[in-house]
Structure 1
Amino acid sequence: MATYKQLQDQIKQLQHEAEELRKNELSNAISQIKMTMAEYGITLADLGFTNKKKNGQVRAPLAPKYRNPATGETWSGRGKAPKWIDPNNKEKFLIK
Structure 2
Amino acid sequence: MGWAEMVVGIVLVVTIGQIVRAKMGIRRDGQSGDYVAHDPAASAEARRLQEEVRTLKDRIAVLERVITDNHSSVSLDREIEKLRDDRN
Do the structures match in fold with TM over 0.5? no
Relative to total residues, which structure has the larger helix share, 1 or 2?
2
TM-score normalised according to structure 2 size: 0.41
Higher RCO, 1 vs 2 (CA within 8 Å, ≥6 residues apart): 1
TM-score normalised according to structure 1 size: 0.38
